[in-house]
Amino acid sequence: MKRRHLSKKEVEHIAWLAHIELSKEEKELFIEQFNDILDYFKKIDKVDTEEVQPTYHVLDLMNVYREDKASPSLPIEEALKNAPKKEKKFLKAPRIV
């Protein structure tokens, strides 16, 4: 029998945080799936990575961004043409207090 890492109460809390309602059957399914994932992490933790250099990307890429070139800004009229509300040359948003 697998060791249970997460309890029903913890799965219910995770569901609450995610703003989802789970049926009794779904809770049991998630308990099993979450615990399978945690068991898999335990297997990963056992892998010897002593000689492995840390990587930040699976491909050996350096800067893949385009060159930054200055260009004219979008005209104000064009930028505001689809705005639901505008006032002079600004977007108008509801007041938030």
- pTM of the predicted model as reported, rounded to 2 decimal places: 0.49
Number of folded domains in the chain? 1
- The answer to whether position 52 is within a domain reads no
**Alpha carbons 52 and 97: distance in angstroms, whole number:** 52
Distance (Å, rounded) from C-alpha 15 to C-alpha 33?
14
Give me the pLDDT at residue 29, please: 95
In a domain, 19, yes or no: yes
| Helix, strand, coil share of the chain (percent; to 5) | 40, 5, 60
CATH of the domain at 29: 1.10.20
Residue 28 C-alpha from the chain's centroid: 25
Residue 14 belongs to what domain range? 8-45
81-85 average pLDDT score = 90
In a domain, 56, yes or no: no
Is the residue at 77 inside a domain? no
Report if residue 29 sits inside a domain. Answer: yes
Confirm whether 76 is domain-assigned: no
